[in-house]
Structure 1
Amino acid sequence: MSLFSNCGAGDVGYREAGFRFDVMAELDPRRLEVCLLNHPGALGVPGDLRRTWQKVIRRYRERAGKARPALLCACPPCQGMSSARSGKGSHDDADAGSKDERNLLVTIVAKVALRLMPSLIVVENVPAFLTRKVRHPKDEKPVSAANYLITSLAKDYVAFPMVADLCDFGVPQSRNRAFLTFVRKDLPGLKELLRLGRVPFPRATHAVDVGTGRPITLAEALVSFGLPSLDAAASESAVAAEYSGFHSVPVWDERTYAMVAAIPSASGRSAWENDACRHCGPVEASPESVLCPICSSPLLRPIVKDAGGGYRLVKGFKSSYRRMRVDKPAATVTTASGHLGSDNTIHPTQNRLLSPLECSLLQTFPADFKWGDALKRLGHTNVREMIGEAVPPAFTRMHGQVLYGILKREWGRAPMAMSDERCVKAWAKLADAAKKDGRADPRDYFEHAKPSGRQASPAHVSKRSSTGRLALENKVSQSTP
């Protein structure tokens, strides 16, 4: 089952790992249409899950009867949590956090989980999900959404958190995300996992800290895509017709194009640093300058005309109007990938933004992902939003392989060590948030679930591998990291 399914891209990875989705639930019926194109056997439930969650359960029962789901995936909207949003109040202000009702949509996840009792539950969000304060729906005291979910399910499930940059798993972009994976306490695979000091996440495959490689750079990714060049100067050069509109970019006016062209190719620099004038060429100007010192025309920087007729610099983050770095993973693909003034959206060497196709490939969408007529009906903005909100299927496939191993006790991919810093960091965030709220340390629930004997703990971990951990790794094929 999938809740908050978006276009279904993240769930494609779990499907490739061996899971089949019976029910997909998504607020926007247009997104759900795309989702069902890629999961044709699933039943779709459109609408606000706060009103439709019981219908979701009924649809599942129609399909599966009394059988418990193997997997429940949920990716609640992250906009209320995101650090990129302004005007949302202090991170530790529960009243400010509660103003956005999306911040406690995990209550729906808890309701569905406790009714259907799936073997595994996966919840994905931005890292602030672990710590951002809201008012508890029952006692009205501050709590983070993640800690609310952990305590709500603690009787029946063991929770495992992780905070990671998904570039460590071969996703060719920097994408910091938080995951909670819940394993039902009666699963034999859980006991084996705990005994060996492992967690239900895949080992990193492209991270220097575990000695398995390095992240894929943007330059390497773009070369692997093999797509033709584009240019935002004119409509003829801004689209590659053979890609049904998906490899195309917005056309810029002359001044905007000149501003981007003035940013040196492959420099990773921004238009804020341009010391150039359209008429006079390179000039000497201070970082705060707006007008050319020679002809008094606006410099090729992010500049607007104010109400009085004068010019001023655009108010915004200095990561905007910037070329992406070629020697690092791409910047995070967001819902605003089609906006020049958003964070790091300019192509590293060409004078344009990234196309929707490039964004989807950086998000590791499969090349055969089905969009139907979404681009024609919904437009580039809506398609870019679906792409930006997706969970990269390259990661969910790896995650799904570990989850499949827990259910079948067939370890096709080695699970992550409990001592991995990605897990330790997540536990620390949860514990710190609970302490500030005057609530129980969430690690206590984990301690009570562990079998007797010596094994790693989130409260005190060692980076040394035990004999048991090596035994589990010996079950993994040599070809699979």
Structure 2
Amino acid sequence: MTEVDPKISAVDLFCGVGGLTHGLVRSGINVQAGIDLDPSCRFPYEANNSAAFIEKDVNHLATDEISPYFQGGDFSLLAGCAPCQPFSTYSQGGRSKKRGLDWQLVSSFGNLVADLQPDLVTMENVAQLAQHDVFDRFLAKLQGYHIHWSIVECVKIGVPQSRKRLVLLASKLGSVGLDQIDHISLSPRTVRQEIGKLPKIQAGEQHARDPLHTACSLSDMNMRRIQASRPGGTWRDWDPELLAACHRKESGATYPSVYGRMEWDAPAPTMTTQCFGYGNGRFGHPHQDRAISLREAAMLQTFPREYKFIDKDEKVLFSRLGRLIGNAVPVRLGEVIGETLVQHVKAVSGLETDTSPSESAGLLF
């Protein structure tokens, strides 16, 4: 039986460095443009993806700036991860505006869907979004669509970290297969599987052939702390003289993972914008006396090892690159979303296929 691939043309809103885009492309979707207001995203987005980067605030985006990028496809897809306050930031300096603007980006996404009427829509977001009225208002914008959404445990689909995300899929074509993402249950990938073969480096060192494989330096005290830490353990294992002031407070007792080491044979914790810092969570390397490198953080976000985040001779800035990596959609999640949509389109369009949606969506790259 001959398999026919549908031609899906997509635009990725709030594209960041291209995690969702890269995953969608891996699944066979033609992402033609990514839109984000952060100029730091331009190089990594364009260097790794054959798509145009449009530097613009989605709040001020007109539909005629998007619709030309749907040309050439049999089906159109509007995708994105609208950053949500107070759970994330959408600018280099963060946003500290009134609470009334907290969900403005989700509303802007919904307005663009209502105006553009693409064949397919996907939104990836924080799990907490489902608890807020703005999500109900977003769903109301999807009149005429078949909708499926759920909270996806990313470790079950091949992302080597504990991460829960809301994933919404909507289609004008039908409902068949939109729930396939919920039925994937793979064996968890581990820290060792993902980063175990990277060259050893020391705290404060940058690898000669990979500038992104660089780790923050550690103070003398933090070096003593990490040397006293065991994989999966907590600061409660330390001698008293190593405890930080916050640990001595009653409030600090609720944060056992701070200053923790990852475990080799378990998934990593959720990658955050501060994942390069040993004191910011369980971001200590399982064996080496340092925090994980930026490259390791990116790989735990399932970016390919060769993914380029900085231009040649560009200086590595931990805070900027940590923000870009931590805020990214894991590539593997984007790929599974894309595979689910591709198989859905095949099913509802009567296109012949040798692979069921559940089988395809379960493949690891």
Q: Does the 8 Å CA contact 1:240/1:247 hold for their aligned counterparts?
A: yes
Structure 2 partner of 1:45: 54
* 1:261 corresponds to which of 206, 220, 227: 227
Counterpart of 1:347, as a letter, is H
**Identical amino acids, percent of aligned pairs:** 25
Structure 2 partner of 1:230: 201
* 1:74 corresponds to which of 80, 85, 91: 80
Deviations 1:50-102 (A, max 9, x none): 12x11xx32334445697862111101145236xxxxxxxxxxxxxx971624
Counterpart of 1:71, as a letter, is L
Name the TM-score, length of structure 2 as normaliser.
0.83
Number of corresponding residues: 340
Q: Does the 8 Å CA contact 1:17/1:397 hold for their aligned counterparts?
A: yes
Distance 1:75 1:150 in 2: 15
Structure 2 partner of 1:322: 260
Q: CA deviation at 1:109?
A: 1.1
Structure 1 partner of 2:3: none
Instruction: Please say if 1:3 is aligned against 2:9.
Output: no
Change (3 A) 1:339 1:192: closer
SS at match of 2:135: helix
Greater shift in the superposed pair: 58-67 or 392-401: 58-67
* 2:193 corresponds to which of 212, 216, 220: 220
SS at match of 1:346: coil
Distance 1:263 1:313 in 2: 20
Q: Does the 8 Å CA contact 2:113/2:141 hold for their aligned counterparts?
A: no
Q: Does the 8 Å CA contact 1:127/1:178 hold for their aligned counterparts?
A: yes
Q: CA deviation at 1:191?
A: 5.1
Instruction: Please say if 1:338 is aligned against 2:302.
Output: no
Counterpart of 1:204, as a letter, is I
Pairing of 1:266-345 with structure 2 (within 5 A): 266=231, 268-275=232-239, 299-303=241-245, 316=252, 317-345=255-283
Distance 1:242 1:66 in 2: 40
Deviations 1:350-381 (A, max 9, x none): 21100011111111102332324288356122
Change (3 A) 1:76 1:412: farther
Structure 2 partner of 1:455: none
Structure 1 partner of 2:34: 24
Distance 2:170 2:16 in 1: 21
Distance 2:363 2:73 in 1: 32
Name the TM-score, length of structure 1 as normaliser.
0.64
Counterpart of 2:195, as a letter, is L
* 1:203 corresponds to which of 183, 196, 212: 183
Distance 1:375 1:103 in 2: 38
Pairing of 1:415-426 with structure 2 (within 5 A): 415=357
Counterpart of 1:148, as a letter, is R
Change (3 A) 1:222 1:364: same
Change (3 A) 1:27 1:374: farther
Q: List gaps (5 residues or longer) in structure 1.
A: 83-96, 133-142, 207-213, 277-298, 305-310, 417-475
Structure 2 partner of 1:88: none
Change (3 A) 1:100 1:181: same
Q: List gaps (5 residues or longer) in structure 2.
A: 1-10, 89-96
Q: CA deviation at 1:480?
A: 5.7
Between 1 and 2, higher relative CO (CA 8 Å, sep ≥ 6) is seen in 2
SS at match of 2:146: strand
Instruction: Please say if 1:110 is aligned against 2:110.
Output: yes
Distance 1:62 1:219 in 2: 44
